[in-house]
């Protein structure tokens, strides 16, 4: 049986969705706009690099660190593989004083108790890993790329690591 067309002027129209469909489309478009805006903002912040959190930190960074500052943002993970409490925090302080962005700290997994510390390049940029190693006084640097991580360098602190002596102020 063929479908009949609505008569002109009768006010009947074929169903085309409804209010719920219109709201759904609007919500989807709004979500896409928010997503694109946040991606754009994140890229802009990433390109700007790290910023000082307060005026005192800005003044300290204006004087410059004692060692060579990293070129661009270097995201670092610091893992304590020893039983010495607070070692990752000490290394984090040293790295941040040198301008590195420490994004994660913690303890290395069970069974990881190396005698010597190691700095691991995660993105194929050994120059960045060597800068981190130099700041911490670590001699071992190796490459272990891992695209699943959101960081550039991993530091595993072994029993041999001691925080470098703070530079003495000039008299």
**53 lies in a domain?**
no
Residue 137 makes CB contacts below 8 A (sequence gap 6+) with 161, 162, 164
**142 lies in a domain?**
yes
CATH number of the domain bearing residue 102:
3.30.70.2390
The structure's pTM equals 0.56
CA 144-148-149 angle, 5° bins: 75
What average pLDDT does this structure show over 26-45?
A: 70
* Overall domain count for the chain: 1
**35 lies in a domain?**
no
pLDDT digits 0-9 by tens, 111-154: 666 789 999 999 999 999 999 999 999 999 999 998 888 899 99
C-alpha–C-alpha distance, residues 34 and 22, integer Å: 18
What average pLDDT does this structure show over 11-32?
A: 75
Torsion of CA 119, 149, 98, 63, to 10 degrees: 160
144 lies in which domain range?
69-157
**128 lies in a domain?**
yes
pLDDT over 70 (residue 8) = no
**147 lies in a domain?**
yes
CA 70-55-130 angle, 5° bins: 10
**47 lies in a domain?**
no
**Cα–Cα nearest to 71, from 43, 96, 100:** 100
pLDDT over 50 (residue 49) = no
Question: What is the reported pLDDT for 72?
Answer: 74
What average pLDDT does this structure show over 35-61?
A: 49
Beta strands 153-157 and 118-121, pairing class: antiparallel
**131 lies in a domain?**
yes
What average pLDDT does this structure show over 11-25?
A: 72
What average pLDDT does this structure show over 24-31?
A: 84
pLDDT digits 0-9 by tens, 69-105: 566 789 999 999 998 999 999 999 999 999 999 999 9
What average pLDDT does this structure show over 12-34?
A: 76
């Amino acid at each position: 049986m063929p479908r009949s067309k609505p008569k002109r002027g009768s006010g009947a129209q074929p169903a085309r969705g409804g209010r719920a469909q219109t709201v759904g489309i609007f919500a989807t478009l709004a979500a896409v706009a928010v997503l694109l805006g946040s991606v754009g903002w994140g890229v802009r912040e990433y390109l700007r690099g790290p910023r000082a959190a307060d005026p005192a930190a800005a003044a300290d960074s204006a004087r410059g660190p004692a060692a060579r500052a990293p070129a661009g943002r270097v995201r670092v993970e610091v893992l304590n593989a020893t039983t010495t409490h607070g070692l990752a925090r000490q290394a984090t302080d040293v790295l941040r004083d040198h301008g590195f962005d420490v994004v994660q700290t913690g303890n290395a997994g069970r069974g990881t108790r190396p005698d010597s510390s190691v700095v691991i390049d995660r993105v194929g940029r050994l120059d960045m890993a060597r800068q981190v190693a130099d700041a911490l006084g670590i001699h071992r640097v190796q490459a272990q790329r891992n695209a699943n991580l959101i960081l550039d360098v991993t530091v595993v602190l072994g029993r041999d690591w001691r925080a470098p002596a703070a530079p003495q102020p000039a008299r």
